[in-house]
C-alpha cells in the first residue's frame, strides 16, 4: 500500500509511452488497447455515502492563461464574447470510468455542451452551481457560484472570491452540475465547503487545479484531493477520448486526480492531435 504522501514533482503511476514518440508532454500518459472497455450507464449515480471534510496536503496548481483578451480566446467574429449565446464550440469529448462505473461524461450526444457569455450565464446560475469557463488552447476554468456575480475558485495557488464577469476574461461558460456522475451535496454544504477555504494558499491546500477544488466542493469526495486515495493494483480509472474520425482512445490511470490533471493538459496543449496518430489504444 502506498502512503498518502505526494511530492511536489509527483509523477503519475500509469505506464508511459516512449518519450521519443511525442516528447516529454506524454510522459505521464498510458495508451493501452483493451479488448473490453468499461461500460456503464452515464446517468448512473454514485452509491457511496456523502463525504464532507477537510484535509490538507499540498498544491501544485497548473499554470493557466487567465489574462488573455477576448480576441485571444479562440472565438470567431460570429462567436464574440460580447454576444449572449448559446454557442457551439469545438471541443474534445470524453467519458470516464472507475472500473465499470461511469463517473464522468462530456459527450455532445448525451448533454447540451453549448456555452454562453458570462453575462448570460449569470442569469442561469443558482448558489452552489458548478461552472466551467472554456476557451481555445486553455484548460477549462471551474468555479462554484455563490451569488450576485460572485464565484469561489482556485486561482494561481489561492482560493478566492471574484466577480464572474471579471474572471471570464472573454471566455464563454456553462453550468456543469451533472458532468461528474457522483451524488451532489445540498447547496448549503457546497457553499460551506467553498467559503470555508477562502484565503488559503498553496502550502495549505490539497487541490492541484480549479476543477478538482470546485468538484470537491460540490461532491465532497476525497478522491478529488491530491493524495486523497490509496493506490492499489485493482483500482483503475479509464478515460475514453472520443476523437472525430479516429474512434475512441483509452487511457488508464491509478487515481482520479491523475486522470483529471492529464485531461486538462490535453485540453490545454492539443496533444490529442498527436495521440490520434498512434496505432495502439484505438477502438
Residue 276's pLDDT band (boundaries 50, 70, 90)? very low
The percent of residues in the chain predicted with pLDDT above 70, rounded, is 64
The CA distances from residue 182 to 42, 79, 81, 141, in Å, are 11, 33, 31, 20
Cα(130)–Cα(226) distance, integer angstroms = 20
Q: Is the pLDDT of residue 106 over 60?
A: yes
Which pLDDT does position 270 carry in this prediction? 66
Helix (H) or strand (E) holding 106: strand 101-106
- pTM (whole model) above 0.85: no
Helix (H) or strand (E) holding 241: strand 237-243
**Pairing, β 141-147 against β 101-106:** unpaired
Which pLDDT does position 58 carry in this prediction? 38
Cα(146)–Cα(197) distance, integer angstroms = 14
105 three-class SS = strand
Mean pLDDT score, 250-257: 92
Which pLDDT does position 85 carry in this prediction? 67
Mean pLDDT score, 222-247: 83
pLDDT 10s digits, 139-172: 999 999 999 999 999 999 999 999 999 999 889 9
Cα(203)–Cα(195) distance, integer angstroms = 18
Residue 82's pLDDT band (boundaries 50, 70, 90)? low
Cα(251)–Cα(14) distance, integer angstroms = 9
pLDDT 10s digits, 212-224: 999 999 999 999 9
| Average pLDDT of the chain, as a whole number | 74
Cα(116)–Cα(118) distance, integer angstroms = 6
* Other C-beta atoms lying within 10 Å of the C-beta of residue 246: 15
**Which ranges of the chain does DSSP label H, i.e. alpha helix?**
19-22, 118-122, 164-167, 187-195, 210-219, 256-269, 272-275
Amino acid at each position: 500500500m502506498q502512503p498518502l504522501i505526494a511530492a511536489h514533482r509527483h509523477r503519475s503511476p500509469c505506464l508511459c509511452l516512449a518519450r521519443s514518440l511525442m516528447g516529454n508532454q506524454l510522459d505521464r500518459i498510458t495508451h493501452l488497447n483493451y479488448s473490453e472497455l468499461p461500460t456503464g450507464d452515464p446517468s448512473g449515480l454514485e452509491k457511496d455515502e456523502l463525504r464532507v471534510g477537510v484535509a490538507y496536503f499540498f498544491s501544485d496548481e497548473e499554470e493557466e492563461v487567465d489574462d488573455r483578451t477576448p480576441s485571444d480566446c479562440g472565438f470567431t467574429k460570429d462567436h464574440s464574447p460580447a454576444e449572449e449565446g448559446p454557442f457551439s464550440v469545438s471541443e474534445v469529448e470524453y467519458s470516464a470510468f472507475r472500473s465499470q462505473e461511469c463517473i464522468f461524461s462530456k459527450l455532445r450526444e448525451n448533454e447540451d455542451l453549448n456555452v454562453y457569455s458570462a453575462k448570460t450565464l449569470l442569469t442561469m446560475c443558482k448558489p452552489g452551481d458548478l461552472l466551467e469557463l472554456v476557451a481555445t488552447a486553455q484548460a477549462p476554468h471551474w468555479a462554484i457560484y455563490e451569488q450576485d456575480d460572485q464565484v469561489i475558485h482556485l486561482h494561481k495557488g489561492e482560493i478566492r472570491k471574484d466577480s464572474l464577469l471579471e474572471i471570464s476574461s472573454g471566455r464563454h461558460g456553462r453550468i456543469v452540475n451533472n458532468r461528474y456522475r457522483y451524488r451532489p451535496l445540498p447547496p448549503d454544504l457546497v457553499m460551506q465547503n467553498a467559503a470555508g477555504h477562502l484565503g488559503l494558499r498553496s502550502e495549505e491546500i490539497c487541490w492541484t487545479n480549479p476543477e478538482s477544488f470546485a468538484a470537491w466542493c460540490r461532491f465532497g469526495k476525497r478522491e478529488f484531493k491530491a493524495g486523497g486515495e490509496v493506490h492499489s493494483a485493482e483500482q483503475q480509472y479509464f478515460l475514453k477520448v472520443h476523437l472525430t474520425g479516429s474512434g475512441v482512445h483509452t487511457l488508464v490511470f491509478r487515481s482520479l486526480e491523475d486522470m483529471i490533471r492529464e485531461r486538462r493538459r490535453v485540453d490545454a496543449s492539443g496533444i490529442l492531435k498527436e495521440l490520434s496518430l498512434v496505432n495502439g489504444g484505438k477502438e
